[in-house]
Structure 1
């Protein structure tokens, strides 16, 4: 999950005419005031983090593959939440790329790395200690940094590596996209679509070998960067007609149905779970992601209010509660994997999992979303508490 922020339209500039890092960057003050009032972004981020949690809550039912009610329940929930990570990446592209080339390069990188690396390292260490003392893994303290460099210490932290990579390239990508004619930007998106999505589909579904199919996995920043571009390209698009919105909803449902059906067919044929349609750049997931992005952008693209604050910026229609939750999304992403296991294993004094809550049996179809909602609420509560403790807030949120 990402931490997308809107760059401010006004404010102080550097001596070279470039925007200060407070205007364009994670947790920059002016940046935060404006971006957190973008209703569609707040809702998008909140929905996306819940989608990530739902995805992780339903995943245990998919492997091993079996044609059963439980497997199909997990498949339905997981298929309908595969858009969550790409949606975060699109939001980052929409909010970061328009102004990344207008900021002093050093400031752009320092601000972003400071607000990503510190929480990332802190939570990596927390998960490192958790894996030793709770899960019984045999590691010494000196193993921590080599393990962080080698790869994610916990499964969900892969996203931070990918996010850091995209941010490192963001100023260059921003300059190219802002200077190049739109047709060349769409040409770049088209190349990515063919390379990351269409050619793998030909290879997998038609069993046709092609040299150009990438062997990079679905967590690669290079393969996922197309969503970064698309967020930038579609940031101004708004669908006004009801018919257009209905079409977007239908495309989302078709993409979800194709994802779950295609996954079943490939898995049934192979006799084991095949995740091809689950990949973040599969055609079906891409269809869901783009449809949902445009739908949220169109429905909740609210007009600015007339009142202006002291700095002359018009406020956007986003409620205070939504802003608080939206500002907690990055922290929720970092902590949710730990909360998932603590609730599931009863380490908080009570147990909530896929099939029960506080000792009460629950059908799996209701248990999975209830489990995901519980993880979300506990994670949010913890991050909100941390946000009121200055030293902890800077380190882990």
Structure 2
């Protein structure tokens, strides 16, 4: 397997060895991201607060929020375990264009759509400002963040070569304290904890967590503890958001990507899928080919799905009940996005421009 491939798909050269549970996790992660983008507008709408559909979205929210964390954990599991990622110049030359080329092209596509729909003026300076910021569309922040992860990956690789897993776990804890635990404590305590500013971008913690969980053989007791932690994280996320939410202002404290429950829930999904594929390897063998095919186009799905979702939302009948509309949006967005990405992947030039 090309372990240095970007975290959303692995190039499918014939001589590559697949890791089926990671293919499954890629597909699961993109479905969670799509579900998040379908339900997020409902959760932050004051007019829909406390309705049955809003409550259903709140129940789903702790799960759909871990799509991006799962992507980052897959990245850590692959890149940090590959000795080729320690060579800085070859790594940058191979990996950065796979992000930068689609980033520029998709910014251009989404900007053109924004100009045509009247939401942005036709201005080169505005486009460059968005391109050098967080992107034209809301989901692009992730790619900009991923560029930063790629830049530090060779250094992380060299670090783990000289550290034991226990020492990496300690580093993981240090990152969590500065970016996750300290802000949570400051919401609870009557005083402010100011120890240590964010020494590392908090989302790097997911990269290290993916490497730890993908590399270690976990005992049944350890897996049980992880599952119990995930159940606790789900409860804290849901109850905490419900307690703070109100029709006047839907303040949801656990929506941050750094929220500690996200680490717990993402760890459960990662470990459960890995264990399931390990224990049922023979029975799941027929599923490996469709999983591989879907996993290879996930990056394209990530790029295009907001555009597909916007079109579906605009065209759907107004008379459709809200819950049914959300289900329809999610299903059609996933299907059409996968279909688009699969078609693009068959044309080399388009694949390079739109999927990296």
Shift in Å at residue 337 of structure 1? 0.6
Distance 2:224 2:170 in 1: 28
233, 248, 261: which is aligned to 2:239?
261
Counterpart position of 2:38: 57
Shift in Å at residue 174 of structure 1? 0.5
Shift in Å at residue 118 of structure 1? 0.8
Shift in Å at residue 75 of structure 1? 1.5
320, 337, 340: which is aligned to 1:361?
320
Distance 1:193 1:302 in 2: 31
Which structure has more helix as a fraction of its residues?
2
Please list the CA deviations of residues 274-294 of structure 1 after superposition, one character each: whole Å capped at 9, or x if unmatched.
232122221222211111111
Shift in Å at residue 48 of structure 1? 0.4
* 2:294 corresponds to 1:325: yes
Shift in Å at residue 167 of structure 1? 0.5
* 2:138 corresponds to 1:155: yes
* 2:89 corresponds to 1:106: yes
* 2:305 corresponds to 1:336: yes
Shift in Å at residue 360 of structure 1? 7.3
Please list the CA deviations of residues 23-46 of structure 1 after superposition, one character each: whole Å capped at 9, or x if unmatched.
x444886878535x2110010000
Q: Give the gaps of 5 or more residues in structure 2.
A: none
CA contact (8 A) 1:200 1:213 kept: no
Count of matched residue pairs: 349
Moved more, 136-145 or 47-56: 136-145
| 1:55–1:148 CA distance, 2 compared to 1 (3 A) | same
Distance 1:79 1:29 in 2: 31
Please list the CA deviations of residues 207-241 of structure 1 after superposition, one character each: whole Å capped at 9, or x if unmatched.
43122375x7xxx9811111111111221234464
* 2:151 corresponds to 1:168: yes
Counterpart position of 2:277: 300
214, 237, 241: which is aligned to 1:235?
214
Shift in Å at residue 302 of structure 1? 6.5
* 2:354 corresponds to 1:385: no
Moved more, 151-160 or 138-147: 138-147
Please list the CA deviations of residues 118-168 of structure 1 after superposition, one character each: whole Å capped at 9, or x if unmatched.
111111110011111124321313532232113221110000011000000
Counterpart position of 1:12: none
Distance 1:138 1:117 in 2: 24
Counterpart position of 2:202: 223
21, 41, 45: which is aligned to 1:40?
21
Task: Please report the TM-score for the alignment, with normalisation by the length of structure 1.
Answer: 0.79
Shift in Å at residue 74 of structure 1? 2.2
Shift in Å at residue 102 of structure 1? 5.2
Please list the CA deviations of residues 103-130 of structure 1 after superposition, one character each: whole Å capped at 9, or x if unmatched.
5422110111111111111111100111
Counterpart position of 1:371: 329
| 1:302–1:323 CA distance, 2 compared to 1 (3 A) | farther
Distance 2:329 2:258 in 1: 27
Shift in Å at residue 344 of structure 1? 0.6
CA contact (8 A) 1:43 1:322 kept: yes
Q: Which has the higher contact order (CA 8 A, sep 6+)?
A: 2
Distance 2:41 2:10 in 1: 38
Shift in Å at residue 373 of structure 1? 1.9
67, 78, 81: which is aligned to 2:61?
78
Q: Is the partner of 2:132 in helix, strand or coil?
A: helix
Q: Is the partner of 1:44 in helix, strand or coil?
A: helix
Shift in Å at residue 64 of structure 1? 3.4
Matches within 5 A, 1:117-128: 117-128=100-111
64, 72, 81: which is aligned to 1:89?
72
Q: Is the partner of 2:278 in helix, strand or coil?
A: coil
Q: Give the gaps of 5 or more residues in structure 1.
A: 8-23, 306-315
Distance 2:280 2:53 in 1: 44
RMSD of equivalent CA atoms: 2.8
